Amino acid sequence: MTEQTSRVFVYGTLLTGEVNHEIAAPYLQNVKPGKVKGKLYDVGSYPALVVDQEGEVVGEWLTITIDGIRRMDELEDYEEGRNDNEYERVWIRDCTQEIEGYVYVYHPDKALHLPLIESGSWRQHRPKKRNA
């Protein structure tokens, strides 16, 4: 019997080679580059995505087991139906290819005073933070 999987779009510390990728790695079936409509904000040691038709966020689509999604929910402190989640897990489509799945998004009001990551890419932005 094959284990049930789903896709999750990641754009920050869960990306391949980033600090929290080890949380997803044991449950990973496939990785594919992708882009979604949104804006990326700098929260400090991690980014936050706000869905927005004006921008694009660069990341990866992870095909991951349901146990992997549970582990990612723990990392993002997400609990279905809870009112005070820092992130919400919602369904999203890639803007350049026929892929869709979950993504962890930030509430737009929480991002109002955060610095915008103009490139839409955490990988491009993070090294600049160290040099600043």
Enumerate domains of the chain plus CATH numbers.
5-131 (3.10.490.10)
pLDDT of residue 130: 61
Cβ contact 50:111 at 8 Å: yes
83-99: pLDDT as tens digits: 999 899 999 999 999 99
Q: Residue 118: pLDDT band by 50, 70, 90 thresholds?
A: very high
In the β-sheet with 100-106, what is the strand arrangement from edge to edge?
28-37, 56-65, 5-10, 100-106, 87-93
Asked if the model's pLDDT at residue 131 lies above 60, the reply is no
Please state, for a pLDDT cut of 70, what percent of the chain lies above it.
Answer: 95
76 labelled catalytic: yes
- What pTM did the predictor assign? 0.94
Q: Pick the catalytic residue: 76, 88, 100, 118?
A: 76
Range from 36-50, 102-116, 118-132 carrying the lowest mean pLDDT: 118-132
pLDDT of residue 44: 93
Q: Residue 132: pLDDT band by 50, 70, 90 thresholds?
A: low
